[in-house]
Amino acid sequence: MKSLAMIAVLVCFASACAGAQATQAAQATSVTASLNKSLGIFVFPAKDQKPEQQSLDEQACYSWAVQQSGVDPLNMTPTKAQPVDKSPDGSVVAGAAVGAMGGAIVGSIVHPYHHHGGAAAAGAMVGAMAGAAHKSKKDAQKEQQAQQTAAATDKAKIDNFKKAYTTCLQGKGYSVN
């Protein structure tokens, strides 16, 4: 009778442990499956590996790839773009000077015998606005370039991780595309 009770307890314990292992394996499988999908990687068990073995191999390769590449795609902070220097660079002053000269020249052509201070002032105002617009456009281009550089840096990091992860999986007998 005691042995029957002991067997029943052992069976319950074994099934509980198996259930916990199955839950852990299912969670790990879903994490690596999600990772594979987000990286655009397809893993096929070329040597008839069982799903549980594939999950363990993918986890091991994930850890190895993180160690080798220094990149953890599940915990990666995006690279921030370098801030753009938006301090004055003389564009407004240069634009005003060119505008003033242009205004004075146009004023002298249109009204050859009058004082041309008003035309020069108007030209300076237009030139200053053009200089400011040019500076703003240059700053926007620099900012866009900084964002593109940051995105390219992140892509290179992910590509490096993918190369390590794929190499590991192939070494364990999987076909990876």
Asked whether 84 and 104 are in contact (CB, 8 A), the reply is no
Which alpha helices (DSSP H) does 40-116 contain, by range?
51-69, 91-110
Asked whether 22 and 51 are in contact (CB, 8 A), the reply is no
pLDDT digits (tens, 9 = 90+) for 160-174: 999 999 999 999 999
DSSP 8-state class, residue 111? S
* 85 closest CA partner among 137, 139, 151: 139
Angle at 4 between CA 2 and CA 9, to 5 degrees: 95
Cβ-count burial 37-76 (b if 16+ within 10 Å, e if not): eeeebebebeeebeeeebbbbbbebbebbbeebebebeee
Question: pLDDT class for 104, splitting at 50, 70, 90?
Answer: low
Average of pLDDT values for 133-158?
85
Average of pLDDT values for 93-116?
61
HSE toward the beta carbon, residue 53, CA cutoff 13 A: 11
Global pTM reads: 0.61
Question: pLDDT value at position 79?
Answer: 87
pLDDT beyond 60 at 14: no
Q: Locate tokens 């969670």: which residue?
A: 27
pLDDT beyond 60 at 24: no
CA 5 – CA 14 distance, rounded (Å): 14
Length of the chain: 177
**Mean pLDDT, all residues of the chain:** 76
Average of pLDDT values for 16-40?
63
The 10 Å Cβ neighbour count of residue 143 is 15
Per the model's pLDDT, the better-predicted residue between 146 and 30 turns out to be: 146
pLDDT digits (tens, 9 = 90+) for 41-73: 999 999 999 999 999 999 999 999 999 999 999
CA 155 – CA 71 distance, rounded (Å): 11
Per the model's pLDDT, the better-predicted residue between 130 and 160 turns out to be: 160
Asked whether 123 and 106 are in contact (CB, 8 A), the reply is yes
pLDDT beyond 50 at 23: no
Which region, left, alpha or beta, applies to residue 87 given φ > 0 means left and ψ of -120 to 50 means alpha?
beta
Question: pLDDT class for 12, splitting at 50, 70, 90?
Answer: very low
Question: pLDDT value at position 115?
Answer: 58
pLDDT beyond 60 at 123: yes
